[in-house]
Chain A
Amino acid sequence: NAGVTQTPKFRVLKTGQSMTLLCAQDMNHEYMYWYRQDPGMGLRLIHYSVGEGTTAKGEVPDGYNVSRLKKQNFLLGLESAAPSQTSVYFCASMGVQNIQYFGAGTRLSVL
């Protein structure tokens, strides 16, 4: 049982480049989330989805876009990467009892 899988694990981008982070879950969860983790700031919610075909903004959505075309996948896109987007990105899905299950994270550096 893989749980929540994120790809890639690491990525280095140049300012202005674009990329997509993929999150896949095999637990049939409706709710999925993208967070960024920065030192001293904890986890901040970027975007989330309450079901296939739906997305919503979180606390820090600017500069990011998301799509949930299939229930098991939640994609996070950076159209034009900026150094301020250097961070560790975590995907999560939520099951019963409001428990969130996290992926292993993607470490992104924007030069």
Chain B
Amino acid sequence: AQRVTQPEKLLSVFKGAPVELKCNYSYSGSPELFWYVQYSRQRLQLLLRHISRESIKGFTADLNKGETSFHLKKPFAQEEDSAMYYCALSKNTDKLIFGTGTRLQVFP
């Protein structure tokens, strides 16, 4: 069965520290993976997708098919990065399967 696992409910770091939010997936086909972010009092929005291979707000994510992972990374966390982050897998191109989310807290 298709599944997205985010093992950390909460990740706390200090400003300037590196950040890695973990995401593992199980999927029998070719996955399409996304990271969505929800800042406080804002709606959920797309952060990045693996196909575009771009860096958004300093975040990057690389699809590792061997480890079935799509971890989100940023070398130097900022306070404004504090938010809820969801990893998502596209299933049959018409639905997304979301992980349970990781709350990132960046302390000053």
Contacts and interface: CB of A to CB of B under 8 A. Distances in A.
Please tell me the size bucket of the interface on B: 20 to 34
A89 to B, nearest CB: 12
A105 B95 contact: no
A111 interface: no
User: Which of A4, A42, A48 counts the most B-chain CB atoms under 10 A from its CB?
Assistant: A42
A100 B37 CA distance: 12
A40 B101 CA distance: 8
B43 A48 contact: no
Interface string A87-102: 0001010100111111
A107 B86 CA distance: 19
B100 A41 contact: yes
Contacts of A58: 95
A103 B96 contact: no
B20 to A, nearest CB: 19
Nearest to B93: A98
Interface in A27-75: 31, 33, 35, 40-45, 48, 50, 58
A42 B94 contact: no
Given A41-B100, A42-B99, A45-B95, A99 B49 contact: yes
B96 A42 contact: no
Interface of B: 6, 9, 32, 34, 36, 42-46, 49, 51, 86, 90, 93-96, 98-101
Interface of A: 4, 31, 33, 35, 40-45, 48, 50, 58, 90, 92, 94, 97-105
11 contacts: A4-B43, A33-B95, A42-B98, A42-B100, A42-B101, A45-B96, A90-B43, A97-B51, A98-B93, A100-B46, A103-B43
